[in-house]
Amino acid sequence: MSPDRVIRSAGMGDFTVITYFTPDFAEFLSGLSEDCQRLNYSLHAHACPTVFSNVIEAFDYKIEFIREAIRQFDRVLWLDVECRIDQPIPRDWQSPLISCYSSGTSQGLSSGVLMLDSQQLRLVDLWSKYARKYPEYPDDFVLDFLTTQIEIPFRSVPFEFYDRDTTCSITRGEWSNAHTVIRHPTTNRWRNPLRYRRAFNGTRRERHTEEEAIARQRKAIFFRNFSGNFSTVDREMDAGLQSEFHYADWVFDAREQAFAPKMFWPEFKGDFTSKPRTFAQSWERFRNPPKGRSYRSKSIRKMRLTREDKQ
């Protein structure tokens, strides 16, 4: 594969879909590439040779990549490489546009789906500057901070984690419904889910062993992402007969009570018996997190504009 892959087409829409991927994420590109070809979108995909030591470094690399892509293509639609496009991008999606979420006490922007053009280059410059100034925080936190300080006319498109009947046009999982335009799975976190949790929730004292904490995070990933019928899985796992069965791009071992997304089986097996035990319990924990100000809010309160940028 060449370092950069640009798929040109007649080009429905006046934007170029852009993404980058590291060697450990290369397997996700085929899905997004197929979607762009099917929908006649131009795709610019950059193969970054680096596997970053932490996710914050990967986020910061993304900002610089987006800036260069805007200079090259003008209007761009950034999608994390694991995203899938189910339906044509709505005509009223115009830059600047970003996905967003709300969960319990936490809400904010999510740059996994982001449309920008050359008129927002000054914003991208500030985004890059403050990401470097606050290297311990994700790029989403920095964008949230900037929106509290300067006027940014973002159109925000909400996404949904759990409700399979949602009317949101972005789903944060592998599942979809008639309203879904973009699926943004989180199964890419399966290998090492704790590094993502720590990036977005901060380092804190663990109540569980690392093994148990990983198992719990993987179980939550399953409930948020799985596109099949949970009752079917429960029935087979309770029966305990099959050593390996495949369903909706996941693999389950009812005898060992193990499971994983198909692409991570069998190297990274998860413990199916780990909590949360049911979809309803997982959703309830998501809707009602522990009381108190979120890590995102605390982080944003610590950020400050320089005197120069205030002026």
| Residue at 137: amino acid letter | Y
Per-residue pLDDT band for 260 (boundaries 50, 70, 90) equals very high
Write out pLDDT tens, residues 165-190: 999 999 999 999 999 999 999 999 99
pLDDT at 2 over 90: no
- The CATH class of 4-185 is alpha beta
Q: DSSP string covering 129-161, please?
A: HHHHHSTTS-HHHHHHHHHHHS---PEEEEEES
pLDDT at 26 over 70: yes
Write out pLDDT tens, residues 85-132: 999 999 999 999 999 997 766 679 999 999 999 999 999 999 999 999
Q: Cα–Cα distance between 223 and 276 in angstroms, integer? A: 9
Q: DSSP string covering 175-209, please?
A: ---TT-SEE---GGGSSSHHHHHHHHH-----SS-
Q: Please report the pLDDT score of residue 10 as a whole number.
A: 40
Write out pLDDT tens, residues 181-235: 999 999 999 999 999 999 998 877 767 899 999 999 999 999 999 999 999 999 9
CATH 3.90.550.10 maps onto the chain at 4-185
Write out pLDDT tens, residues 42-86: 999 999 999 998 999 999 999 999 999 999 999 999 999 999 999
Q: Strand order in 258-261's β-sheet?
A: 245-247, 250-253, 258-261, 270-271
Q: Cα–Cα distance between 200 and 183 in angstroms, integer? A: 20
